[in-house]
Amino acid sequence: MVETRFSKFLQKLGFSRAGHQYEPLERGELETLFDEQCELKAIEKDKTVVALPPKEASKCHREDLAKAFYVDLHNGLSESSVTQRRLVHGWNEFVADNTEPMWKKYLDQFKNPLILLLLASALVSILTKEYEDAISIAMAVLIVVTVAFIQEYRSEKSLEELTKLVPPECNCIREGKLQHLLARDLVPGDIVCLSIGDRIPADIRLTEVTDLLVDESSFTGEAEPCSKTDTPLTGEGDLTTLRNIVFMGTLVQCGKGQGVVIGTGERSQFGEVFKMMQAEETPKTPLQKNMDKLGKQLTLFSFCIIGIIMLTGWLQGKHLLSMFTIGVSLAVAAIPEGLPIVVMVTLVLGVLRMAKKQVIVKKLPIVETLGCCNVICSDKTGTLTANEMTVTQLVTSDGLHAEVSGVGYNGQGTVCLLPSKEVIKEFSNISVGKLVEAGCVANNAVIRKNTLMGQPTEGALIALAMKMHLSDIKESYVRKKELPFSSEQKWMAVKCSPKNEEEEDIYFMKGAFEEVIRYCTMYNNGGISLPLTPQQQSFCQQEEKKMGSLGLRVLALASGPELGKLTFLGLVGIIDPPRAGVKEAVQVLSESGVSVKMITGDALETALAIGRNIGLCNGKLKAMSGEEVETMEHTKLADHVGKVSVFFRTSPKHKLKIIKALQESGAIVAMTGDGVNDAVALKSADIGISMGQTGTDVSKEAANMILVDDDFSAIMNAVEEGKGIFHNIKNFVRFQLSTSISALSLITLSTMCNLPNPLNAMQILWINIIMDGPPAQSLGVEPVDKDTLRQPPRNVKDTILSRALILKILLSAAVIISGTLFIFWKEIPEDKASTPRTTTMTFTCFVFFDLFNALTCRSQTKLIFEIGFLRNHMFLYSVLGSILGQLAVIYIPPLQKIFQTENLGVLDLLLLTGLASSVFILSELLKLGEKFCSTAKKAQIHHQDV
């Protein structure tokens, strides 16, 4: 625009052949040229405007702020300035960096060693012309990979979800007019007007304030709204102390204000959280690590089989290529292609069971990770507590103490006198009644349908009145005047006149004890006003200190005919109390070896009060501040962090450092939270758990798990489920490997001893169906054992194939091989030729052994009579189906031809059943022996302790 006008000016310059001819400029054109030069300078200035850090902005005076951002505080920016600034700073939004294409994310799923091993076995099946095997393996791999991809794709939205936090609209002054804009349009230097109910659209330095209260709980973790000012601040402090700055995403709860935008998008404080989240990668779960290790172990096992068979063949003078083919085929058969599907099915069923318990799990392996979680770090506000201020204690001016039950903005709960536990309603006790009346009348909050409209502290006083059936007492008075609360005077008062009686006007006052007591000359004693003596004042002061030391926010209440002659009524203690069930959950988790730690932005006294209340470390609390966390070195912090149970005054950066330190010390960490200040820690923890109702969008998306009802105790169910899932996977692995080793060994031994094959191809296929089919799959859905939660968390270094499990697998395999070979040896004719009866008896014997083996694999430690025959319905149906299928194969003529079997007598079946049950009996006796040894060991330890 400037250039086109300037070119018109240049056109005024004419050139003739004789020489230069100049036209004189008109006055209007000179003014235009001057304006254009000013505009060019303004554009250059706009390009140099930078976002101002909150700590710097908080120290600036209004005039300095206007100079720094080249803005008129009354008229705002011009549209041209906004355009130039947007070129430098971009839109006020977050853009997640999704450079990795979808197809690459899908292909990344194939990096799992077990998946690669299965693909290799499918390739070998194609080379050996076993196309059915190749197709079944390929289908299994595709199902597993696709399910895993869909889960991860749905869960990786945490960065995109930050955009939801940016409010869609705001009020902004531009070119002297108040405009209603989209929040994404804001640039540094914009003048934004704020009013009650607004969500702050960017980081703003306040320049005008009227009774402005901002709810910063999602950012700082503080339950109490923060009172704001427009005066410059001196001195150093953290972000929570910057009272003239409001941060993006927080909520205006009361009053109004105006200010200059100092940071937008990624240059705001939430932008810092965004960048930290971009830098964080979700760690691999212990189950994923275990599956990787198992895949490598099975690969090694397969190569060992191929090597042994080739070496044996070479020593016997057989053709190496044919021996290699046999070895590879057996190795492929040994690989449990059903394992990834069983793991997936087990995890999916675990997720579905959790959904019924109001817990949403977004990443499948996370369910199992809870089984080895040994530290749970929890945010306080909104997680351990309900973020609803509640009166819990009363002390009247005449020395009566009362406790208040019930949590939240409702009338559920009672007020009981101590120590008699007498329940008080209305004015059944005049001193308590007058105290509650004053709190209800000197109040601007309203509770409708359990929803608070107004300040949390005032809401707590209304809820107290509701519990005493005094919430309508407010209607008995006509309010004439209000003296509003200010941070300087620290009290508020109302002047009222009673409606029904011709009495004189009365003042009701509430506020900080040291301020309210200055306006009092009397104190209430059972409904009678007595002079306030220094002794009485000292007693009230001691009570106030005692309540404050318990982490309570203490309010004093008074009433009287005029402000200088009030009657002191007493004190109320307010706190954001623990949620129902939290104390019990912490106790159960502690007993099962899970350490619970509280990380909060709140003050030390409040944090310790809640910590003691919920029974952290049995009340023996050790606390550490965010400042100490920041200054301590990583290695020192990793050593120290395990001993601390309460972290206070923490920022998102501190929370992340604590999580990392715990992980470095070898802990598997779960983090629970609900605010944006928790988002980075939720993502970096091994398990991120967000609240469903009070949680912000960002915290829900950064988390792996969401507690729908905000019920902390649901974590216990999740831990139980996690432990159960790992047990079920181990049961399946034990069954499948013992079966596959038996089948392999049977074929290998007969090949090496030049005996006929005890099983034909169709029979091996049928055994493979049982090995990977319904009986095996049903082990993955075994219901979680009730004693599971009492077991300590699983050590992450424990592999699925532990030494004990390998021994059990080999023992079961040895029994199956011995029994099957015995039947084969018994039934084989003298000429060593394979007959239908020989293969039928051997085949049926092996299948029966398989089913008895599956029965004992339902639990690693408990006897079948303890877990119950009928508990796992799917197992019963699959075993019954397998038995009927086996009988069909033996007795139905068309199937006899396919499987090369013949009819067996009743005595044959009884012999095979009796022999096959030996694997079950031996395994159960082994469990009994282990149980006896464990009991004896515990008794010995207990005896030594005594």
The sign of the torsion formed by the CA atoms of 416, 417, 418, 419 equals negative
Length of the chain: 946
Quote the CA–CA distance of 688 and 706 in Å, as a whole number.
Answer: 8
Question: Rounded to a whole number, what is the largest CA-CA distance in the chain?
Answer: 132
- Where helices occur in 442-552 by DSSP H, the ranges are 456-467, 513-516, 534-549
CA atoms of 182 and 682, how far apart (whole Å): 30
Count other Cβ atoms within 10 Å, centred on residue 827.
18
SS3 252: strand
* Alpha helical stretches, state H, 647-792: 652-664, 679-684, 697-702, 714-752, 761-772, 774-779
Active site residue 379: yes
Rounded-to-integer distance, Cα 234 and Cα 56, Å: 10
Spell out a b/e string for 766-798, using b for 16 or more CB atoms within 10 Å of the CB, else e.
bbbebbbbbbbbbbbbbebbeebbeeebbebee
- Spell out a b/e string for 9-36, using b for 16 or more CB atoms within 10 Å of the CB, else e: eeeeeeeeeeeeeeeeeeeeeeebeeeb
603: Cβ contacts below 8 Å, ≥ 6 apart: 648, 649
Task: Please tell me which residue in 203, 379, 697, 850 is annotated as part of the active site.
Answer: 379
What's the rounded Cα separation, in Å, for the pair 719 and 354?
A: 10
* Those residues with Cβ within 8 angstroms of residue 292's Cβ, 6 or more apart along the chain or in another chain: 112, 113, 114
Closest listed residue to residue 330, CA positions, set 835, 751, 932 = 751
Indicate the Cα dihedral angle 772, 776, 781, 783, nearest 10°: -170
Residue with tokens 């201020």: 389
Write the CA distances from 187 to 181, 263, 781, integer angstroms: 12, 8, 56
Q: Which residues contact 427 (CB under 8 A, 6 or more apart)?
A: 433, 434
Kindly state the helix (H) or strand (E) to which residue 391 belongs, with its residue range. Answer: strand 390-396
The DSSP secondary-structure symbol of 384 reads I
Q: Taking the C-alpha atoms of 396, 402, 403 and 407 in order, what is their torsion angle to the nearest 10 degrees?
A: -60
- What phi and psi values does residue 791 have, to the nearest 5 degrees? -75, 145
Q: Which two tokens stand for residue 55?
A: 């700590």
The position carrying tokens 């359990």 is 450
- The tokens describing 573, both together, are 């203690």
Distance (Å, whole) CA 926 – CA 920: 10
- Catalytic annotation, residues: 379
